[in-house]
Amino acid sequence: MTGIPKECSKYKCKEPHFKMGKCEKHYNNEVTEKIREDAAVNTLHSGLIDGEVPRDRELNIELQKIKVWWNRTCDSLNHNRIDNVLLDEAEFATSWCISFTKEIIDAELALRNNKSIGHKLHSTREWVWERFNNLEAGLNSNGTKRNTS
């Protein structure tokens, strides 16, 4: 036996193994998601989407706002400093920034190609800003009271 799985390792997937323990569909989905995540991180650092500033004014404003949180989060994590607002949630904040930026990128690229913006931008925007607003209000990101002891 070589130890190579015969089926996909994703829950309830019975498709044959393709690569990295996944079927072809799940493997390709993971590769696509990794590409989206890398693009979001690059955009958070550069402010550019495919080498250009977002053409859509609203998306550019949103990107600049999320970049402020990204920089604050990175500063906290990279320099091992507790941010006075993020506190112990800095690591989680990186994923919020990346998630929102992926949707900003998707929306900008859709607009550049004369397509409509998907619904996920709006819901992700609300979810991310709610978390940061809760932190700024002295709460946990989920809106519960912060344990101050």
Model confidence pLDDT, tens digit, residues 105-134: 999 999 999 999 989 999 999 999 999 999
Residue 147 within a domain? no
More confident residue, 28 or 56: 56
| 8, pLDDT greater than 90 | no
Residue 1 within a domain? no
Residue 123 within a domain? yes
| 149, pLDDT greater than 60 | no
Q: Is 40 exposed, middle or buried (0-12, 13-18, 19+ CB in 10 A)?
A: buried
Of 112, 130, 108, nearest to 121 by C-alpha is 108
Handedness of CA 86, 132, 75, 42 (dihedral sign): positive
Residue 7 within a domain? no
Residue 16 within a domain? no
| 59, pLDDT greater than 50 | yes
| Structural domain harbouring 105 | 24-136
| Least confident segment among 24-28, 57-61, 78-82 | 24-28
DSSP conformational letter for 4: -
Q: pLDDT exceeding 90 applies to what percent of the chain?
A: 74
Residue 70 within a domain? yes
- This prediction has a pTM of 0.86
Contacts (Cβ under 8 Å, ≥6 apart) of 121: 103, 104, 106, 107
Number of domains in the chain: 1
The dihedral over CA atoms of 14, 17, 19, 20, expressed in degrees to the nearest 10, equals: 70
Residue 15 within a domain? no
Residue 44 within a domain? yes
| 3, pLDDT greater than 70 | no
- For the chain, the average pLDDT equals 92
